[in-house]
Amino acid sequence: MEPRTEAYVDGAWQAGARRFPVHDPFDGSVVANVTDADDALIDQAVAAAARAFPAWAATPAIERGSLLGRMAERMLAAEAELAELCTRENGKPLKESIAEVRYAASFFHWFAGEAERIYGETIPASSAGQRLHVIRQPVGPCALITPWNFPYAMLTRKLGAALAAGCTTVTKPAEQTPLGALALAAIAHEVGVPAGVVNVVPALDGARAGNRLVSAPAIRKIGFTGSTEVGKLLLRGAADDLKRISLELGGNAPFVVLGDADIDAAVAGAMIAKFRNTGQSCVAANRFIVEQPVAAAFTEKLTAAIAKLAVGSGLVAGIDLGPVIDDEAARKCARLVSDATARGARILFGAAPTGTSRLVAPVVLGGVTPDMAIWREEIFGPIVAIRAAKDEADAIAQANDTDAGLVGYVFTRDGARQTRVAEALQVGMVGVNEGLVSTAQAPFGGIKQSGVGREGSRHGIDDYTHLKYIATRVG
């Protein structure tokens, strides 16, 4: 698939005066040169979304859903090309890119159905002469700002909900991975989504373009996935004219293994939770907290599984870990390991990354303590940090000792402990004997500093609609 490289505005491809390169994280080669949307083009996209809004909002839900269903089908039909594009701009192994295309398409499929289920309410009135109705209406044109780690899925779970609800959209994808969003715009165009309903404006300077977009008065809602730092800036900005905002931000997931856990199942769960997308996932297991009696057995089995991982180009068959996204990410892995070892952690497997290569081999660290940066920050790389816990209460206390609250994992065979720990973890999502919680049918999102709002599931529509209550006098 030849990537689209122009901005998609008002149903047309628009080449801007400036372009910027998209690099393959594996070898740094240029995959494409993409239009750098200037302020005038972003304003055009917002104006197009505002013009298209009334007709799209009035389009019967079944028709909006039908277009979403066709977008899902088209994505699956083009799965191989879309996956290759994803690997080229993001670096993840092809098998993971295929999984991402399917996961991303599942949001279009899910919201295709949900479009017809945006129900209202009828409320019994206290007065005989009154009828009380509640309807849900689309909030208006939305700004969607997405990160580089899941270029398709982070967009479809917003775009699917927005389009189902009757909102129009302007998307600003991450500077490193604009090609996925442009490929989705091409699909929207192909299936006949009306002009102005879907707009995509790639840009090199995310802060400049993001600010221009979210401060536009016509934008009524911001849907953002990215870092907590930028999320806070957007929340402050949204306050100026009280825009709706949903934020899917960073995590610091605890992965708790209790003494009675099935260790093989815990290791299998850990491999998924830790290494998907080379560890660059907001739901990546960040802190392994293992009850003392099984700490040695778990570490040994996990290390044996990690030793089998192959690192290299995501385009090569058999590769498990592609490159990290950029040089800064490679340097971060090196900094976290060197900070940990300087403070007393031991390297149990692998070698300290040098920070000079985007191909970062896995490392397992033992003897990690809470003062270490690796315990406090989102790692976003294939580094495993393990700490022992005295007992269940200590494991819970350690798990909750963070500002983040996106997801937590717990492995135990004991049903009562499963419930107790799942309820005690201060997070928006819990995997119980499960290393992968993300699915279109369930509400994805965090508490504490991991975000506001939910994406996916029947709740995913909520942030794209407002309630309107209508009191009618009938006599």
- Residues near ligand NAP (CB under 6 A) are 145-150, 154, 172, 174-175, 206-207, 210-211, 225-227, 230, 233-234, 248-251, 282, 378, 406, 446, 451
* Catalytic one of 96, 248, 378, 392: 248
> C-alpha angle 107/111/115, rounded to 5°?
170
Query: In this complex, which beta carbon is closest to ligand NAP, that of residue 74 or of residue 332?
Result: 332
Q: How far is the CB of 247 from ligand NAP (least distance, A)?
A: 8
Query: In this complex, which beta carbon is closest to ligand NAP, that of residue 231 or of residue 259?
Result: 231
Query: In this complex, which beta carbon is closest to ligand NAP, that of residue 158 or of residue 417?
Result: 158
Residue type, 215: S
Q: How far is the CB of 154 from ligand NAP (least distance, A)?
A: 6
Query: In this complex, which beta carbon is closest to ligand NAP, that of residue 149 or of residue 168?
Result: 149
What is the residue whose two structure tokens read 């300290």? 352
Query: Strand 142-145 vs strand 169-172: parallel, antiparallel, or unpaired?
Result: parallel
**Catalytic residue flag (residue 248):** yes
Residue type, 348: L
Question: Is the separation of the CB atoms in 72 and 142 below 8 Å?
Answer: no
Query: In this complex, which beta carbon is closest to ligand NAP, that of residue 349 or of residue 375?
Result: 375
Question: Is the separation of the CB atoms in 268 and 255 below 8 Å?
Answer: no
Measured distance CA(254)–CA(283) in Å, rounded: 10
Q: How far is the CB of 103 from ligand NAP (least distance, A)?
A: 12
Q: How far is the CB of 277 from ligand NAP (least distance, A)?
A: 9
Query: In this complex, which beta carbon is closest to ligand NAP, that of residue 162 or of residue 282?
Result: 282
Question: Is the separation of the CB atoms in 326 and 177 below 8 Å?
Answer: no
Q: How far is the CB of 146 from ligand NAP (least distance, A)?
A: 6
Measured distance CA(384)–CA(220) in Å, rounded: 41
Alpha carbon distances (Å) from 370 to 7, 85, 255, 329: 45, 39, 15, 22
Alpha carbon distances (Å) from 81 to 3, 43, 76, 77, 84: 10, 31, 10, 9, 5
Q: How far is the CB of 459 from ligand NAP (least distance, A)?
A: 14
Residue type, 459: H
* Catalytic one of 86, 167, 282, 333: 282
Query: In this complex, which beta carbon is closest to ligand NAP, that of residue 251 or of residue 353?
Result: 251
Query: In this complex, which beta carbon is closest to ligand NAP, that of residue 22 or of residue 395?
Result: 22
Query: In this complex, which beta carbon is closest to ligand NAP, that of residue 19 or of residue 51?
Result: 19
Would you call 131 exposed, middle or buried from its count of C-beta atoms within 10 A (0-12, 13-18, 19+)? middle
Q: How far is the CB of 139 from ligand NAP (least distance, A)?
A: 19
Q: How far is the CB of 258 from ligand NAP (least distance, A)?
A: 26
Q: How far is the CB of 126 from ligand NAP (least distance, A)?
A: 42
- State CA 468 to chain mean position distance: 30
Alpha carbon distances (Å) from 94 to 25, 314, 439: 14, 6, 20
Which residue numbers are catalytic?
Answer: 248, 282
